[in-house]
Amino acid sequence: MTELTNFLQGELLLTGTLFALIVLFIANIYSDKLKKYQVVDTNGAISLMDDDDLIILDVREDKERSSGFIKSAIHIPMAQVKGKLDSLDKSKKILTYCKSGTRANRIAELLCKNQFENVYSLKGGFDAWQKQGLPIKK
C-alpha cells in the first residue's frame, strides 16, 4: 500500500489525469440517464409521425434545407429557435432534426429547459434519414 501511495504522489500528473478520466466517464454515464428528451432512430421517428399532433422541427440553416427536408417539417434555424419558442405548442410532441443530430440534441435540450415535455431528437439527423432512403421534399 505504501508503494502505491508513493507512486501516486510521485506521479501527480498521471494521478490527476486518471482521476479526471474516471470523473468524465461517470458523468457521461449519468448524463444520458438525466436527459429529458429521447433520441430516436429513423424507425422511431416514423412511429412518432403516426401522431397527427407531432411537430417536426428542422433546425438546419437555409442552405442545408435546400437539399431537401422531411415532409411537414417546420423550419426554424438553430440560432432563431430560442426567440420563437412561443410559436411552438408545448402540449404537442416535437421531433427535432438537423444534418447529423448534434444541433438537434442541443435544441431538444433547450426545449426541455423551457417546459416542453414530449421532445425527441432524430439520431443521425437528416443524413440518417436520407441514408435509409426515406422520402424527402425539395
If you average pLDDT over every residue of the chain, what do you get? 90
Locate 133 and state its grid cell: 432512403
> pTM of the entire structure?
0.78
Sign of CA dihedral 114, 101, 52, 36: negative
List strands edge to edge, sheet with 94-97: 38-40, 119-122, 94-97, 55-58, 74-75
**What would the mean pLDDT of 99-111 be, rounded to a whole number?**
97
Q: How confident is the model at residue 90 (pLDDT cuts 50, 70, 90)?
A: very high
- Does residue 98 have an active-site annotation? yes
Q: Which residue has the higher pLDDT, 7 or 89?
A: 89
Boundaries of every domain in the chain: 2-33, 37-131
Using CA atoms, how far residue 13 sits from 9, 17, 18, 64, 87, in Å, is: 9, 6, 9, 44, 51
Q: What is the pLDDT of residues 68-85, one digit of tens each?
A: 999 999 999 999 999 999
Is the pLDDT at 10 greater than 90? The verdict is: no
For 37-131, the fitting CATH number among 3.40.250.10, 3.50.50.60, 3.40.50.720, 3.30.70.1400 is 3.40.250.10
For residue 74, count CB atoms less than 10 angstroms from its CB and return exposed for 0-12, middle for 13-18, buried for 19 or more.
middle
Q: Which one of the listed residues 57, 98, 104, 107 is annotated catalytic?
A: 98
**Dist. CA 7–CA 30, nearest whole Å:** 31
DSSP 8-state class, residue 69: B
- Which amino acid, one-letter code, is at 69? F
Do residues 49 and 71 touch, judged by C-beta distance below 8 A? Answer: no
Residue 99 to residue 5: CA distance in whole angstroms: 49
Closest C-alpha among 101, 99, 135 to residue 120: 101
